[in-house]
Amino acid sequence: MSTVEILRPTHNPVEFDISRSPTIPTTATTTATSTTSYHDFVQELLSSPNHLRLTAEGFSAESPSSASSTNGERLFPSLPPLHYGHSDLHLRKGIMNASHLASEGEVDAEKAFFVADLSKVYAQYRRWVSCLPEFKPYYAVKCNPDPFVLRLLAALGTGFDCASNNEISQVLQIGGSISPDRIIFANPCKALSFIRNSCKMGVDMMTFDNCDELYKVKRVHPNAKLVVRILTDDTKSLCQLGLKYGAPLSTVPGLLAKAKELDLNVIGVSFHVGSGCYDPSVYMDAIRRARSVFDMGLNAGYSFDLLDIGGGFEDGLFEQGAAVVKEAIDQYFPDRRGIRMIAEPGRFFVAKAFSLAANIIARRAPFPHPTCNWNEAAQQIDAEADQPSVMYYINDGVYGAFNCIMFDHQTVQPYVLSLDGSFHVPSTEIQTNCSVWGPTCDSIDCVCPSTRLPSSLRVGDWLGFDNMGAYTVCAASQFNGFEVSKVIYTTGGGAAATEVRNILAAFASASRQRG
């Protein structure tokens, strides 16, 4: 494959051509119509009472002065502003903003960015409460320690699953009154200094799965409330955690006897069926095992009162998983008075809430014959071999937000946010086989080895990726000098937008009153 320079000479790749009055698809927002130009679009935003706060910020440079109320509301002084409106709207506004910055010659104006719709986190919380009302969720902070997500969940009354000192501090510092008993230190293998510190912070509840951990706890946090993490079947999950954690049932009686001998307080049982669990029936066996460990506890002289069913909940399988959990609980814990039941969902709360916009910064394509046009060239190659004929390079990759491809075994699907400088993507656009690559100089940095996208996409256009909230931002690195993509926050365009904002506003004002 050879490279070719096929940019139109008149076109500045990072400039978004607002004057061409491109159109916006009807699906974009409830206020936009298929014939809306950018100008009409912004006018509509300005005139719509629901979107009053948005104003024309899409065209203003991001600066500390954007703290003013016209640019979204700053509910929390230390955090970015919070906007109203559907995430699609903010993806487009972000692109227009990038275009404006690019026209001013700003370096990195076209940088990739996330849009987080907090109403989607709220919707998942409602779904949790309606399907699993008996289980208090302790959000797994490692999944996405986003400051707004943590505040919203705190305001809703969830607990938190922390795995390190920093995660504990982060939760305790979000304001409001996060009591340390809303935290479970759910890492079975902790540094001694972390255990000592959790004692100092008042975090008592923690998991263990080995004997050494008991000696460490005895030394520096003898009043800890211990939870034995057991091994369950994790073969039906994308990320199998049993390789690393979980006590096999055969070792549990010994562990409990040792804990008793050390005069430690073991209060219950936890497990994790693995992250990204695609067969929720595994909760049945896991809860059966937990039941048998409750009985082992009785034999060792403990009367457990905590059952922690961990994480692993998938958005698409949630109702099914919840049904299995309920059935298992009825079967194995028919009398559960006096037993506190909790879970540690991570992915479930945040996956859908974040979208990413990334800019096509480079393109590599077969060299078209001088007389043939780009589309025909791409099609011809497509026909010859079912191999990706075009390589698109975008400005976020597997060392950044797309680390989920490496660490979380995810595949991602791009869609076109803007094409040829317009938000309007005609359905007649010819698609081609292509691959999508990240910006670093490592060949492992492949976002999408094979997908179909319009062959007319070019440098400066934008791709969107949905479902980017879980295990993405948190593990992004700055390898090769590329920054971690920033987040634009909205409470969404739906009916819950105001409700979510009120919940956050009340939390913010409670935090301020407590100083």
Ligand X SMILES: *Cc1c(COP(=O)(O)O)cnc(C)c1O
DSSP state, 57? G
Q: Closest separation between CB of residue 241 and ligand X, Å?
A: 6
Q: Closest separation between CB of residue 191 and ligand X, Å?
A: 16
Our CA angle for 476, 478, 482, nearest 5°, is 110
Residue 311 as a binder of ligand X (CB under 6 A): the answer is yes
User: In this chain, which of 22, 137, 145, 346 binds ligand X, going by CB under 6 A?
Assistant: 346
- Of 185 and 399, the one with the shorter C-beta distance to ligand X is 185
- Of 245 and 465, the one with the shorter C-beta distance to ligand X is 245
Judged by CB under 6 A, the stretch of 65-73, 260-268, 281-289, 311-319 that binds ligand X is 311-319
User: In this chain, which of 347, 352, 363, 458 binds ligand X, going by CB under 6 A?
Assistant: 347
Residue type, 146: D
CB atoms within 10 A of CB 49: 5
Q: Which three-class secondary structure string do you get for 90-112? A: HHHHHHHHHHHHHHCCCCCCCCC
Q: Closest separation between CB of residue 160 and ligand X, Å?
A: 11
Contacts to ligand X from residues 28-57, by CB under 6 A: none
Where is 118: in which H helix or E strand?
helix 118-131
Judged by CB under 6 A, the stretch of 101-109, 280-288, 342-350, 428-436 that binds ligand X is 342-350
**In terms of Cα–Cα distance, which of 157, 16, 161, 29 is closest to 98?**
16
Q: Closest separation between CB of residue 278 and ligand X, Å?
A: 11
User: In this chain, which of 101, 109, 118, 186 binds ligand X, going by CB under 6 A?
Assistant: 186
- Of 132 and 459, the one with the shorter C-beta distance to ligand X is 132
Q: Closest separation between CB of residue 306 and ligand X, Å?
A: 14
Judged by CB under 6 A, the stretch of 10-18, 77-85, 343-351, 411-419 that binds ligand X is 343-351
Q: Is 189 a catalytic residue?
A: no
Burial of 92 (0-12, 13-18, 19+ CB in 10 A): buried
Q: Closest separation between CB of residue 271 and ligand X, Å?
A: 9
Q: Which three-class secondary structure string do you get for 419-460? A: ECCECCCCCCCCEEEEEEECCCCCCCCEEEEEEEEECCCCCC
Q: Is 291 left (phi over 0), alpha (psi -120 to 50) or beta?
A: alpha
Q: Are β-strands 462-465 and 415-418 bridged in parallel, bridged antiparallel, or unpaired?
A: antiparallel
- Of 346 and 438, the one with the shorter C-beta distance to ligand X is 346
Judged by CB under 6 A, the stretch of 66-74, 291-299, 310-318, 413-421 that binds ligand X is 310-318
Q: State the Cα–Cα distance between residues 186 and 275, nearest whole angstrom.
A: 14
Residue 313 as a binder of ligand X (CB under 6 A): the answer is yes
Active-site position among 239, 434, 441, 474: 441
Q: State the Cα–Cα distance between residues 158 and 14, nearest whole angstrom.
A: 43
Q: Closest separation between CB of residue 400 and ligand X, Å?
A: 20
User: In this chain, which of 13, 80, 137, 310 binds ligand X, going by CB under 6 A?
Assistant: 310
Residue 213 as a binder of ligand X (CB under 6 A): the answer is no
- Of 216 and 229, the one with the shorter C-beta distance to ligand X is 229
- Of 112 and 309, the one with the shorter C-beta distance to ligand X is 309
Q: Closest separation between CB of residue 312 and ligand X, Å?
A: 5
User: In this chain, which of 190, 272, 289, 352 binds ligand X, going by CB under 6 A?
Assistant: 272
Residue 469 as a binder of ligand X (CB under 6 A): the answer is no
Greatest alpha-carbon span in the chain: 85
Contacts to ligand X from residues 125-164, by CB under 6 A: 140, 142-143, 161
User: Total number of residues binding ligand X (CB under 6 A)?
Assistant: 16
Q: Closest separation between CB of residue 351 and ligand X, Å?
A: 8
* Residue least distant from ligand X (Cβ): 311
Copy the structure tokens of residue 440.
């670093």
**In terms of Cα–Cα distance, which of 449, 450, 445, 448 is closest to 477?**
445
List of residues 6+ apart from 10 with CB closer than 8 A: none
Residue 345 as a binder of ligand X (CB under 6 A): the answer is yes
Check if the beta carbon of residue 294 is closer than 8 Å to that of residue 320: no
Check if the beta carbon of residue 338 is closer than 8 Å to that of residue 134: no
- Of 201 and 475, the one with the shorter C-beta distance to ligand X is 475
SS3 assignment, position 112: coil
Check if the beta carbon of residue 397 is closer than 8 Å to that of residue 111: no
Residue 171 as a binder of ligand X (CB under 6 A): the answer is no
463 pairs with which residues across the strands? Answer: 358, 416
Q: State the Cα–Cα distance between residues 21 and 332, nearest whole angstrom.
A: 63
SS3 assignment, position 119: helix
- Of 58 and 242, the one with the shorter C-beta distance to ligand X is 242
Copy the structure tokens of residue 190.
């902790």
User: In this chain, which of 88, 117, 344, 420 binds ligand X, going by CB under 6 A?
Assistant: 344
Known catalytic residues?
441
Chain positions contacting ligand X, by CB under 6 A: 140, 142-143, 161, 186, 272, 275, 310-313, 344-348
